[in-house]
């Protein structure tokens, strides 16, 4: 395995052949498609797939042609950087960097997430406690703005305001055409320790300490996340990079990764290849594949491996949305329709147990995912202002992402989104934020206070003066 990561005989392979000529052709097609959209019409991507869970309005207007913007342009293994087209999936990005023993600083959990999507819509994973969020390892971006111009934004050029305001803008200020990102060295294997907790308060304390120390009981911690099954059964998974050879587990076949965490007490150990570790959640879409029956051994045995991945589950979700299959099945059993509760939220680490205890009592969904994060040292400008104004987490503070992805029964007479509204209120009460990839119900004033306010308005006026793109509130809450 060590040889396959670093090339034959242990030598680094030659640098990836530059894809800049093909990329320039893709940019020209993108610009041509922009100018073909009628003046006054809203500009959108011509995408058949999405990792968003909020509904999108149907439109007959042609979209932007991004077909030439889905590849890794070049990898520089010496500088440890990569130039990547904005629509490139992390699956393709990781496949291009691992041969050099390198990986992006943060690799979101699902293969179909794109680099541009993770930057404009935020992403997170088990390196976020030391590497922050994906946009923090971006060195520069080429962005197609709402005004139809492709500009280069860096932390310190004339478009630094857009560079800093782009994360969490969800394509309402423009779309990434190219991103230059930092890469970090990785080793061939990840050694795992699954720590069992019987108390959420004890888990919170341990999590905070591990983030601060970056080690546990004398072993370095390179990766850190967790899963809560019940109030008295929760786990932290500590990963350590290693080049030591030995047996590894395989969770792409009959065994299911999240079930492997569970054990009666103490510590359970495991090992994965670096590739299998990065995609450990994708095979079963965390635990959401159980909704399709794929965790039933009798079904799983005959479910082709190539369809055991998040991209295929997305297609099943799309069919359910189109035909209302789930609600129809519930109705046949005399049950009410279900409210989709698909969210990622962040709360300060010291409020983690408060939120999770409330959630387990009020929202009948389990398991839930935990992922700690801290913004990197570049999270503050030279003038002391927060560098990422549209998702204003505090520098030098540990947060915990809590992810939950399922549905709950609706109750007659209650307003639309009752569970989601309750979650939003609780997150705000605990000084947290929630991601905007799914349904949101904030009023406009509260939304502005949480997600950029005047800073966003100024960026919108500068880079999309004719309002060719939807504004953030319309896209995230009104779902136009």
Q: Report the domain count for the chain.
A: 1
- Cα 343–chain centre separation: 11
| Structure confidence at residue 327 (pLDDT) | 67
Place of tokens 């129809």: 328
The verdict on residue 92 lying in a domain is yes
Kindly tell me if the per-residue pLDDT of 362 is higher than 60. Answer: yes
Q: For residue 392, name the pLDDT band (cuts at 50, 70, 90).
A: confident
Query: Mean pLDDT throughout 169-192?
Result: 96
Q: What is the pLDDT of residue 4?
A: 31
Lowest-pLDDT choice from 169-173, 197-201, 366-370, 405-409: 405-409
Compute CA distances 47 → 35, 51, 70, 79, 81, whole Å.
Answer: 18, 11, 12, 33, 27
Tell me how long the chain is.
Answer: 480
pLDDT value at 26 more than 70: yes
Look at residue 46 and tell me if it is in a domain.
yes
Q: What is the pLDDT of residues 190-227, one digit of tens each?
A: 999 999 999 999 999 999 999 999 999 999 999 999 99
Model confidence at 472: pLDDT above 90: yes
Give the pLDDT of residue 60: 56
Is the pLDDT assigned to residue 386 strictly greater than 90? no
Domain residue limits at 123? 2-185
Q: What is the CATH number of the domain that holds 37?
A: 3.30.465.10
Residue 385: the pLDDT is: 63
Q: Indicate the pLDDT class of residue 389, thresholds 50, 70 and 90.
A: very high
Residue 151 maps to a domain: yes
C-alpha triplet 139, 143, 146: angle, nearest 5°: 150
* Per-residue pLDDT tens digits for 225-258: 999 999 999 999 999 999 998 999 999 999 999 9
- CB within 8 Å of 139: residues ≥ 6 apart: 81, 154, 180, 181, 182
Task: Give the mean model confidence (pLDDT) for residues 167-182.
Answer: 96
Q: Which pLDDT score is estimated for 200?
A: 98
Residue 229 lies inside a defined structural domain of this protein? no
CB 140 within 8 Å of CB 151: no
Give the integer Cα–Cα distance in Å for 385 and 439: 30
What pLDDT is attached to residue 221?
98
Reading phi first (left if > 0) and then psi (alpha if -120 to 50, else beta), residue 283 is in alpha
User: Can you give the pLDDT at residue 274?
Assistant: 98
Is 112 a domain residue?
Answer: yes
Mean pLDDT of 264-290: 94
Whether the Cβ atoms of residue 305 and residue 253 lie closer than 8 Å to each other: yes
CB 360 within 8 A of CB 337: no
Say what the pLDDT of residue 14 is: 42
Do the domain assignments include residue 175? yes
Domain-embedded: residue 277: no
With bands split at pLDDT 50, 70 and 90, how would you rate the model's confidence at 6? very low
At residue 5, the pLDDT reads 32
How far apart, in whole angstroms, are the C-alpha atoms of residue 182 and residue 81?
5
pLDDT at 12 over 50: no
Average pLDDT, the chain: 89
Rounded percentage of the chain residues whose pLDDT exceeds 70: 89
Closest CA to 366 of 330, 403, 340: 403
Task: Dump pLDDT digits (tens) for 66-123.
Answer: 999 999 999 999 999 999 999 999 999 999 999 999 999 999 999 999 999 999 999 9
pLDDT of residue 335: 75
Residue 47 has pLDDT above 80, yes or no: no
Residue 41: pLDDT above 70? yes
Let me know if residue 62 belongs to a domain.
Answer: yes
SS3 at position 297:
helix
């Amino acid at each position: 395995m060590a040889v396959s990561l670093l090339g034959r005989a242990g030598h680094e392979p030659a640098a990836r052949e530059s894809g800049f000529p093909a990329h320039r052709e893709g940019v020209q097609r993108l610009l041509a498609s922009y100018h073909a959209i009628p003046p006054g019409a809203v500009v959108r991507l011509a995408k058949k797939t999405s990792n968003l869970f909020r509904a999108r309005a149907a439109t007959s207007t042609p979209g932007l042609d991004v077909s030439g913007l889905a590849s890794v342009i070049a990898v520089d293994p010496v500088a440890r950087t990569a130039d990547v087209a904005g629509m490139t999936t992390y699956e393709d990005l990781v496949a291009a960097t691992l041969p050099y023993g390198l990986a992006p600083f943060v690799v979101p959990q699902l293969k179909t997430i794109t680099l541009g999507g993770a930057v404009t819509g935020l992403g997170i994973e088990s390196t976020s406690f030391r590497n922050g969020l994906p946009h923090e390892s971006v060195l520069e971006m080429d962005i197609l703005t709402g005004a139809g111009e492709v500009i280069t934004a860096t932390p310190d050029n004339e478009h630094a305001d857009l560079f800093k305001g782009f994360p969490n803008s969800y394509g309402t200020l423009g779309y990434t055409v190219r991103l230059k990102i930092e890469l970090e060295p990785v080793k061939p294997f990840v050694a795992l320790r699954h720590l069992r907790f019987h108390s959420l308060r004890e888990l919170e304390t341990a999590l905070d300490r591990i983030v601060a120390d970056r080690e546990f009981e004398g072993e370095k911690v390179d990766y850190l996340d967790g899963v809560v099954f019940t109030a008295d059964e929760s786990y932290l998974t500590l990963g350590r990079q290693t080049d030591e050879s030995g047996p590894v587990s395989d969770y792409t076949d009959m065994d299911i990764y999240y079930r492997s965490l569970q054990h009666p007490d103490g510590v359970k150990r495991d090992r994965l290849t670096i590739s299998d570790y990065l995609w450990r959640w994708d095979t079963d879409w965390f635990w959401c594949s159980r909704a399709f029956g794929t965790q039933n051994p009798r079904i799983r045995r005959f479910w082709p491996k190539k369809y055991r991945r998040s991209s295929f589950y997305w297609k099943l979700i799309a069919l359910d949305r189109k035909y209302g299959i789930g609600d129809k099945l519930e109705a046949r059993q005399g049950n009410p329709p279900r409210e989709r509760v698909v969210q990622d939220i962040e709360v300060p680490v010291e409020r983690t147990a408060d939120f999770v205890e409330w959630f387990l009592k009020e929202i009948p969904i389990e398991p839930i995912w935990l992922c700690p994060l801290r913004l990197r040292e570049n999270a503050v400008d030279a003038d002391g202002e927060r560098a990422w104004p549209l998702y204003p987490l505090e520098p030098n503070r540990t947060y915990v992402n809590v992810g939950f992805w399922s549905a709950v029964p609706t109750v007659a007479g209650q307003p639309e989104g009752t569970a989601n509204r309750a979650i939003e209120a609780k997150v705000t009460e605990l000084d947290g934020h929630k991601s905007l990839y799914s349904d949101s119900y904030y009023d406009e004033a509260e939304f502005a206070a949480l997600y950029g306010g005047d800073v966003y308005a100024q960026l919108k006026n500068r880079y999309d003066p004719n309002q060719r793109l939807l504004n953030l509130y319309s896209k995230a809450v009104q779902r136009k």
